[in-house]
Structure 1
Amino acid sequence: MANVNVRNLPDAVHRALRVRAALHGRSTEAEIRDILEIAVRPPERVKLGSLLTSIAREAGGGLTDEEYARFESVRDKMPAEPMSFE
């Protein structure tokens, strides 16, 4: 896991982080991790698979249950062999 150092953090910000962490019952470090995760990976973000599915539905390209069953019946269910580099 990566480490990040934050330099020149104002004392008032550090105090606010400590208070916020205490209110949530966790360490300051855990609070900072949570804040960063929410900032860069918000729960309401659109995930690529969901976006592609919605585009296909809007374009009328969704599969019917019968089409899905047909694809599922011919799909290769054997696990892939790992690639050898030797």
Structure 2
Amino acid sequence: MANVNVRNLPDEVHRAIRIQAAHHGRSTEAEIRAILERAAKPEGRVKLGSRLAAIARETGGLTDAEHALFARARIQSPAPAVDFE
């Protein structure tokens, strides 16, 4: 896991985070992780895979023939190992 140092954090911000952490029953460090996670991965964000699956459901999905076509076109053998030399 990565580590992050935050320099020059104003005292009043640190104090506010400590108080918020106490209200949530966790450490200041855990509170900062929660704040960063909420900021980086908001709940309302649309994930590409989920959106594509929803579009497929809305349009009726694949027919059996279309599914069979994709199954036949799919490469069945494993990919060869990469050689970096």
Q: Same fold (TM over 0.5)?
A: yes
| 1:62 paired residue number | 61
> How many corresponding residue pairs?
83
AA at the equivalent of 1:27: S
**Per-residue deviation, 1:31:** 0.0
Residue by residue over 1:32-68, the C-alpha shift from the partner in whole angstroms, topping out at 9 and shown as x without a partner, is 000000000112211111111233345x351368x77
Question: Matches of 1:64 and 1:24 in 2, distance apart?
Answer: 50
Query: Is 1:22 equivalent to 2:19 in the alignment?
Result: no
| 1:53 paired residue number | 53
Question: Matches of 2:47 and 2:83 in 1, distance apart?
Answer: 32
Structure 2 stretches of 5 or more lacking a match?
73-78
Question: Matches of 1:83 and 1:54 in 2, distance apart?
Answer: 35
Aligned to 1:37, what secondary structure does the other structure show?
A: helix
Question: Matches of 2:12 and 2:52 in 1, distance apart?
Answer: 44
Counting aligned pairs with the same residue, the percent is 71
Query: Is 1:38 equivalent to 2:8 in the alignment?
Result: no
RMSD: 2.7
Runs of 4+, deviation exceeding 4 Å? 82-85
| 1:77 paired residue number | none
Structure 1 stretches of 5 or more lacking a match?
75-79
Question: Matches of 2:63 and 2:16 in 1, distance apart?
Answer: 54
TM-score, normalised by the number of residues in structure 2: 0.69
